Copies of this chain bind each other. A is one copy, B any other.
Amino acid sequence: MSQWKQIQQLETRLLEHVDYLYDDNFPMDIRQGLADWIEAQDWDTAVSDEPMAAMLFKNLLSQLERVRLQEQVFLQRHNMKMIQQHLQLKYSSNPVSMATVISSCLKEERRILSSACMQEQGPLEKSLQN
């Protein structure tokens, strides 16, 4: 199961933390629309590798274009175009910045999932782990 699918199964209190991770810097529509592709890329390395960040930025835009062209719903197609234009303006001269944002969001999601997992374990399992 993708990390994003696990995230969406969290209880409301933890989902609120996820809610705060996403804004114009990394629209949640992208996180959801390209969930598997995003999780398959090495954003952590791209944070300190400008050519790799530039390549990932270019590939992300291609992925968005593919999704937009397949989209049948007018509103969703429009929103996808808005997001493409927004990302072009924001990151085309600084793709490392985009890699940094995405890397950080994915790490924070893993931290939230991990804390949810710990809460689900009873006192016995926790003491065994310690």
List chain A positions with a Cβ less than 8 A from chain B.
Answer: 8, 15, 19, 22-24, 28-29, 32, 74-75, 78-79, 81-82
Number of copies: 2
Nearest chain B residue, comparing its CB with the CB of A8: B74
Taken together as a complex, chains A and B put the C-alpha atoms of A115 and B90 apart, in Å, by 37
Closest CB-CB distance, A28 to chain B, in whole Å?
A: 5
Taken together as a complex, chains A and B put the C-alpha atoms of A56 and B81 apart, in Å, by 29
Q: List 14 A-B contacts (CB under 8 A).
A: A8-B74, A15-B74, A19-B74, A19-B78, A19-B81, A22-B78, A23-B82, A24-B82, A28-B75, A28-B78, A28-B79, A29-B75, A29-B79, A32-B75
Taken together as a complex, chains A and B put the C-alpha atoms of A99 and B15 apart, in Å, by 34
